[in-house]
Structure 1
Amino acid sequence: MRIVPTLELADCRRIAAVAETMAIQHQATVSLAICDAGGHPLLLIRLDGASPSSASVAMAKARMAALNGKPTADQEAAINGHRPALLQLAGVFKESAVAMGGGLPLLVQGLCIGAIGVSGMTPDLDAAIAASAASALGETA
């Protein structure tokens, strides 16, 4: 048996604060979502000016990153390249999950304990905000 760390609300708030700070610095109107390792929502924030759809997309990015334990940008690149069959994953999960840049697994001791998804700007900026926020835990994928 092994003991697996889990995200607590205080962790989610710390991660979200880092994401929000970076978003404000870049004048980015984004939504960010944090979920547990099973893809269940823990925290959702839609910054002022962010589109309503960005909240759903942020959660879908977080869910995909958590359930795969991989950055969504890597999955998007694989789909666009040599692995189009990965498009089927969203259907397998039975809930919204997308392989679009901006979702990162949250790792502790090499284990995926959840994920963050950011949506609303360019894939590169969404991913940069997510990476900055994920660093609040000290490990990233």
Structure 2
Amino acid sequence: MTDNANIAAPTLMLSLKAAQKIVAAGVDEAARMGVPMCVVAVDRSGQIKAVAHMDGATVLPYQVAFKKAWTAAVTGAPTAGVRAFVGSDEGSAITMPHLTDFSVIDGGLPILVDGVCVGAVGVSGATAEMDLAVAEAALAGLKA
């Protein structure tokens, strides 16, 4: 008989309810700004948990928002921080941009619980600064 304690460890995870709350808060902020955007919440492995493609948003923001969320989730860092790291490390600068879903545009933020990344949110549809503001509002909505 195997000792299951040595096979699996409990992990924190992003619930569907939390992902939906994050996306809804992001949509509310984008609507307040008057800009149709796409808001994507992913789990820590980068798999989509919830998404909103607002009426009037073009096709491109969905792809970009997903890539921002994916990058923030798998690195556990904001996309702006990933950009700074990649810019400071030659090996990363050569390798990381070739990852299929990689993005370092502002607007991707990790979802941290007790310092552990459980997922991320990515927002696209406006300027990088506006995308980041909506992503910040989306995460703040989780606490509301």
- Cα RMSD after superposing both structures: 1.8
Is 2:28 aligned against 1:12? no
Kindly state the Cα deviation for residue 35 of structure 1 after the two structures are TM-superposed: 0.6
Larger Rg: 2
Gaps of 5+ in 2: none
Partner secondary structure for residue 112 of structure 2: strand
Distance 2:34 2:80 in 1: 22
Gaps of 5+ in 1: none
AA matched with 1:98: S
Task: Figure out how many residues of one structure are paired with residues of the other and give that number.
Answer: 135
TM-score normalised by the chain length of structure 1: 0.86
Is 2:78 aligned against 1:97? no
Partner secondary structure for residue 105 of structure 2: coil
Which residue is 1:117 aligned to? 122
TM-score normalised by the chain length of structure 2: 0.84
Kindly state the Cα deviation for residue 59 of structure 1 after the two structures are TM-superposed: 0.4
Kindly state the Cα deviation for residue 129 of structure 1 after the two structures are TM-superposed: 0.6
Which residue is 1:133 aligned to? 138
Which residue is 2:55 aligned to? 48
Which residue is 1:82 aligned to? 88
Is 2:36 aligned against 1:29? yes
Distance 2:46 2:63 in 1: 13
Query: What's the % identity of the aligned pairs?
Result: 31
Distance 1:22 1:111 in 2: 26
Question: Taking structure 1 as reference, are residues 90 and 125 closer, same or farther at Cα in structure 2, changes over 3 Å only?
Answer: same
AA matched with 2:108: G
AA matched with 2:117: C
Which residue is 1:106 aligned to? 111
Is residue 18–residue 136 contact of structure 1 (8 Å, CA) maintained in 2? yes
Partner secondary structure for residue 117 of structure 1: strand
